């Protein structure tokens, strides 16, 4: 959300005679969030404002999804680039619950409303559908790169999920130049640009919002684990076990990330 506001600010201030430099560091994340950020970045291209993305350490997966929206990608020689793929993972504790005589009940409407889950026994059909969904997202990722990178890029060669050092990525056509973000800034200054940094700071968190998050934890466990199991686990909060478990399950149940 902050990134979208920063792009809107740039669009209100910049002209086609200006250039935008974005220092990008990202190993990737959720598909929907990085897809939204990429859409915001494409707004600069649509406004014909030349944009350079500089990668000093890593632009992988969703990070590279963002990078290809720029007119030019530069990277430090030992930065990691690529990882054009999609991954999703989750534990399955069905056998553990069975040994503990715990039933997990799941009710859905729609054949594929749930394909794989943490607590129930997963079917071959459900796992195949989940894999099909990942492949579909991967194909959309590849189309996005084909539309925004240089013609002739061999997607079959680069969209394997591999990440390369920038020196190798350049040979594959994933990077345009080898240099750091500082090099780009100095070059812009040498060409007569007035270099201005725009950074929007998120609002500070209040004690009230932190308290709300703490109070919401038991309710989240109730929803994720089922009432009886969550209440049993609540007694474990003294050694932090519930906090670790809730974080693991939250990540496992999250949508696929790229």
Given 61, 83, 181, 246, the catalytic residue: 61
Q: Is 15 a catalytic residue?
A: no
Q: How far apart are CA 13 and CA 190, in angstroms?
A: 22
Number of H helices, E strands in the chain: 11, 7
- d(CA 116, CA 92) in angstroms, rounded, equals 9
Rg (the chain; Cα; Å): 22
Q: Tell me which residue of 200, 189, 209, 141 sits closest to 4, measured CA to CA.
A: 200
From 12, 15, 113, 206, active-site residue: 113
- Report the DSSP beta bridge partners of residue 164: 81
Closest C-alpha among 68, 9, 82, 79 to residue 35 = 68
The secondary structure of 123-187 as a DSSP string is PHHHHHHHHHHHHHHHHHHHHHHHHHS-TT--HHHH-SS-EEEHHHHHHTTS-SEE--HHHHHHH
Is 142 among the catalytic positions? no
Centre a 10 Å sphere on the Cβ of residue 76 and count the other Cβ atoms it contains: 19
Contact by Cβ (8 Å): 35, 4: no
Reading phi first (left if > 0) and then psi (alpha if -120 to 50, else beta), residue 204 is in beta
Query: Which residues have a catalytic role annotated?
Result: 61, 113
């Amino acid at each position: 959300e902050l990134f979208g506001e920063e792009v809107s600010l740039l669009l209100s201030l910049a002209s086609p005679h200006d250039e935008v430099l974005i220092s990008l560091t990202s190993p990737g994340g959720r598909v929907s969030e990085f897809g939204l950020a990429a859409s915001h970045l494409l707004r600069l291209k649509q406004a014909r404002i030349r944009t350079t993305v500089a990668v000093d350490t890593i632009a992988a997966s969703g990070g590279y999804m963002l990078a290809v929206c720029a007119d030019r990608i530069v990277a430090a020689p030992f930065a990691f680039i690529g990882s054009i793929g999609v991954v999703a993972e989750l534990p399955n504790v069905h056998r553990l619950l069975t040994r503990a005589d715990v039933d997990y009940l799941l009710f859905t409407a729609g054949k594929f409303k749930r394909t794989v889950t943490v607590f129930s026994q997963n079917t071959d059909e459900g796992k195949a559908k989940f894999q099909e969904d990942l492949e579909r997202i991967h194909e959309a990722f590849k189309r996005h790169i084909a539309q925004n990178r240089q013609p002739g890029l061999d997607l079959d060669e680069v969209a394997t999920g591999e990440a390369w050092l920038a020196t190798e990525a350049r040979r594959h056509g994933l990077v345009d130049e080898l240099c750091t973000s500082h090099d780009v800034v100095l070059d812009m200054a040498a060409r007569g640009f007035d270099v201005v940094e725009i950074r929007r700071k998120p609002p500070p968190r209040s004690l009230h919002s932190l308290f709300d998050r703490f109070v919401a934890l038991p309710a989240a466990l109730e929803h994720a684990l089922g009432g009886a199991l969550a209440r049993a686990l609540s007694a474990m909060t003294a050694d932090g076990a519930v906090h670790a478990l809730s974080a693991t399950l939250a990540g496992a149940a999250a949508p696929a990330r790229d």
